[in-house]
Amino acid sequence: MTFICVPIMVESSGESGARAALEQAAEAVRAGARLIEWRLDQVADDRELIRQLLSKSPAPCIVTCRPTSEGGEYNGDEVDRIAMLEHIALEHMPPYLDVELGAYERSANLAHKVRLVVDHPNQLRPTGTRLILSTHDFRGRPKDLYARIGRMASEDACAVIKVAWTARSLRDNIEAFELLAHRAKPMIALCLGRFGLMSRVLAPKFGALLTFARADDMPGTAPGQPGITYLKETFRFEQINRDTKVYGVIGWPAEHSIGPVVHNAAYAHLGHNGVYLPLPIPPEYEHFKATIGSFIDYAPLDFAGASITTPHKAHVIRFVRERHGTVDETAAVCGAANTLIVTRSSDSVELKACNTDVDALVDSVCAGLGIERAGLADVTVAIIGAGGAARAAAVGLALTGASSITLHNRTVARARQVSHELNRRLGMCDTAATRIEAADLNGLCNRHHDVIIQATPVGMADPDGRAATGSPVPEAILSRMQWDARTFVLDLIYTQAQTPLLAAARRAGCRTCNGLDMFARQALAQLTLWTGASPAELDVASILAAL
C-alpha cells in the first residue's frame, strides 16, 4: 500500500504554534492522510513544542528538519540539528526519521549518532524508528543519481530510500517508475515541479512507500505537490494499482483542462481501472515524439490513450503515421486529431489517431437547432476562426451537407489557405461534401447566417476566473450583424457559461450555447473508444454532472 503523507511545516514556536500545527495535521488526517511529516526546520530548538507534536500526532509520522542546503528552512548549526534529531529519536521513537544522504556521508560522527538511534541489523537498543535517507535536487536530475541510490541501498541503517529531483520533462517520471520497479528496499521516488505530477499520482502503481500531498489550504513544502483532496478525489489515488491504465490530456499548457475531472469521474462511474492526468508537453514536435514514444515503449506504464489539444493535434497524426498506425478519415481530412488510442497485445502496440471533435460539433449544432443531421442541408453556417476547432467544425458540417460554410478569420489569407486545403482533402472523400468558403471578419455582417460558430480562444476567462472582456469580432461589425431569434450562436469556449460574443448574441435575441455540450460529446466518444462503454452506461448528461 502506498500512503498519502502530508508534510506540515511548523512555522511558530510555543503553545500556539503546536496547537496550529496539530490542527493542520488533524485536518489532513480527516482529508485522508495516513502519515504526517513534521517539518521542524523553523522550530528545531523548541523541545516542548516538539514533545507535544510527537506525543499528540494524529497519525504515524516522519520527523524531518531540512537544512537550507537541501531546500529546507533550517539554517542553524549542523551539530545542533543532529543532536536534536538524536534526542527526538531517543525520547519519542517516531516511526521514521529523515536524514539527507549528503549530511549522513559528510560526517562519520553524524552518521554514527544517527545509527545509534535508528533500527538496523546490529542495533542493540530497542528502537522503533526507521531511517529514511533522502536526496533532493531542485535544479534537475543529479548526474550521479544511480550512484547515490546504490550507496543508500548498501547502507544497512537505511530502511527507506528517498529520491526527489526536478523533472525536466514528463520523461523523467518514467525513470522514477523504473527506479521504483527495481527497488532494493522500500523507496520513495518523486519528480518535482510542473512535470512531476505523474510520479506523485502513479506512486501506487509502481509500489512506492508513499506520496506527498499538501494540506488543501496550505502551500506545499516542495514544488508540484498536489492538494490532498485533488489527489484523492480527482485522481482516485486509493484505487490506483499495478494494473491501472494511464490516460491524459496532452497540450501546452495542459493543466487548465477539465479533462481530468470529467474522465476520472467517468472511469469511477464505469468501474474502469484507469487514471487520467494532465500531461504538459512543450510545443515542438521533437518533445511530443520523444515523450509519447517513451510512454508507449515503457510497457509497465500501461499508457492506453490521450486527448490531444493545442498545439499537438497535427503532431499526433505525424507521430502515428511514423509509427505505422492508422489515422481515421475525419482526422486525416482535418489534418488534426484530438484522440490517441494505444492498444497493446503481448507482442505489439497498435496506434490510432481519431478526431471526436468533428462529430461532437455536428451533434452539438443539431441539438442547438433541434434538428436531425439531414436538416443541416437547409442551414447556412459562419465559422469565426481558422484554427484547429474551426477546421473540425468546417469538416463536420461539410461532410453532413450544410447548405453553406464560410470561415471568417482575422487573417483572411489563413482562412483561404485552410479552406483550400480542406476542400482538396474533402474532394478525395467518398461522401459528397459542401464547399468551404473563406472571408474576413467584415463578411460576417453581410448576410444572415442560421448558425454562427465562435472557434477562437478570444473571450475565455483567465485561469483565476476573471470575466473575459475580448471578442474576436470588433464592435463595429457586431453592431451590424444580421442576427435574430432564428440564429443559433455556438461559442466553443467551455470554461464559462457566458462570453462577450454570447452576451451580444443574447441581447439580439439569438439562441446560444457555450462549448460544454460539445466538450462532453467529444469526451464521451473518447471514453467509448478507450473503454468500450455503451450509451446505456454513460451519456452526455452524466458527463456534465461530473462538473
Can residue 388 be called a binding residue for ligand NAP (CB under 6 A)? yes
DSSP-H helix ranges across 107-201: 108-117, 145-154, 171-181, 197-201
Binding residues for ligand NAP restricted to 297-326, rule: CB under 6 A:
310
253 prior amide bond cis, ω within 30: yes
Q: Spell out the residues 6+ positions from residue 503 whose beta carbon is closer than 8 angstroms to its own.
A: none
What does the DSSP assignment read for 279-339?
EE--SSHHHHHHHHHHHHH-GGG-EEEEEE-TT-HHHHHHHHHHTT-EE-HHHHHHT--SE
Binding residues for ligand NAP restricted to 465-484, rule: CB under 6 A:
472
Nearer to ligand NAP, 12 or 411 (CB): 411
- Tell me whether residue 232 is one of the annotated catalytic residues: no
Nearer to ligand NAP, 228 or 458 (CB): 458
Can residue 528 be called a binding residue for ligand NAP (CB under 6 A)? no
SS3 100: strand
As to burial, measured by CB atoms within 10 angstroms (0-12 exposed, 13-18 middle, 19+ buried), residue 363 is: buried
Can residue 518 be called a binding residue for ligand NAP (CB under 6 A)? yes
Q: Looking at 162, 232, 313, 352, which residue is catalytic?
A: 313
- Binding-site member from 176, 452, 492, 524 for ligand NAP (CB under 6 A): 492
Query: Least distance from C-beta 318 to ligand NAP, angstroms?
Result: 16
Please state, in angstroms and rounded to a whole number, the distance separating the CA atoms of residues 523 and 525: 5
- Binding-site member from 256, 410, 425, 511 for ligand NAP (CB under 6 A): 410
Amino acid at 266: A
Can residue 393 be called a binding residue for ligand NAP (CB under 6 A)? no
Query: Least distance from C-beta 87 to ligand NAP, angstroms?
Result: 56
- Binding-site member from 104, 288, 483, 519 for ligand NAP (CB under 6 A): 519
Can residue 278 be called a binding residue for ligand NAP (CB under 6 A)? no
- Binding-site member from 330, 409, 419, 487 for ligand NAP (CB under 6 A): 409
| Residues 365/453, Cβ–Cβ less than 8 Å | yes
Can residue 387 be called a binding residue for ligand NAP (CB under 6 A)? yes
DSSP-H helix ranges across 7-66: 14-31, 47-56
Can residue 253 be called a binding residue for ligand NAP (CB under 6 A)? no
- Binding-site member from 225, 339, 355, 522 for ligand NAP (CB under 6 A): 522
Sole window of 180-188, 319-327, 430-438, 489-497 interacting with ligand NAP (rule: CB under 6 A): 489-497
Nearer to ligand NAP, 24 or 471 (CB): 471
Amino acid at 64: T
Q: Which residue is nearest to ligand NAP (CB)?
A: 387
Please state, in angstroms and rounded to a whole number, the distance separating the CA atoms of residues 203 and 17: 32
Q: Which residues of 209-226 are buried (b: 16+ CB within 10 A; e: fewer)?
A: bbbbbbbeebebbbebbb
- Binding-site member from 72, 278, 385, 443 for ligand NAP (CB under 6 A): 385
Nearer to ligand NAP, 187 or 504 (CB): 504
Nearer to ligand NAP, 198 or 502 (CB): 502
Question: Rounded to a whole number, what is the distance in angstroms from the first to the last CA of the chain?
Answer: 30
Helices 47-56 and 78-92: angle between axes, nearest 10 degrees: 40
SS3 403: coil
Nearer to ligand NAP, 414 or 511 (CB): 414
Q: Write out the H or E segment, with its range, that includes residue 279.
A: strand 274-280
Query: Least distance from C-beta 470 to ligand NAP, angstroms?
Result: 6
Binding residues for ligand NAP restricted to 412-441, rule: CB under 6 A:
414
Amino acid at 396: G
- Binding-site member from 53, 62, 240, 455 for ligand NAP (CB under 6 A): 455
Torsion sign, CA atoms 195, 198, 199, 200: positive
- The three cell numbers of residue 210 are 508513499
| Residues 513/490, Cβ–Cβ less than 8 Å | yes
Please state, in angstroms and rounded to a whole number, the distance separating the CA atoms of residues 283 and 453: 26
The size of the interface with ligand NAP (CB under 6 A), counted in residues, is: 25
| Residues 405/426, Cβ–Cβ less than 8 Å | no
Sole window of 138-146, 232-240, 260-268, 388-396 interacting with ligand NAP (rule: CB under 6 A): 388-396
Half-sphere exposure of 499 (CA within 13 A, CB side): 29
Sole window of 132-140, 149-157, 365-373, 454-462 interacting with ligand NAP (rule: CB under 6 A): 454-462
Nearer to ligand NAP, 72 or 459 (CB): 459
Can residue 494 be called a binding residue for ligand NAP (CB under 6 A)? yes
Residue 327, Cα to own-chain centre: how many angstroms? 25
Can residue 386 be called a binding residue for ligand NAP (CB under 6 A)? yes
Radius of gyration of the chain measured on its C-alpha atoms:
28
Query: Least distance from C-beta 265 to ligand NAP, angstroms?
Result: 17
φ/ψ of 49, rounded to 5, equals -60, -45
Q: Which residues of 145-163 are buried (b: 16+ CB within 10 A; e: fewer)?
A: beebbebbeebebbbbbbb
- Binding-site member from 149, 281, 342, 389 for ligand NAP (CB under 6 A): 389
- Binding-site member from 61, 426, 460, 502 for ligand NAP (CB under 6 A): 460
- Binding-site member from 27, 119, 357, 363 for ligand NAP (CB under 6 A): 357
Nearer to ligand NAP, 291 or 309 (CB): 309
Query: Least distance from C-beta 93 to ligand NAP, angstroms?
Result: 54
178 φ/ψ sector (left φ>0, alpha ψ -120 to 50, else beta): alpha
Query: Least distance from C-beta 236 to ligand NAP, angstroms?
Result: 24
Nearer to ligand NAP, 405 or 518 (CB): 518
Please state, in angstroms and rounded to a whole number, the distance separating the CA atoms of residues 40 and 13: 10
Q: Which residues bind ligand NAP (CB under 6 A)?
A: 310, 357, 385-390, 409-411, 414, 455-458, 460, 472, 492-494, 515, 518-519, 522
User: What are the catalytic residues?
Assistant: 313
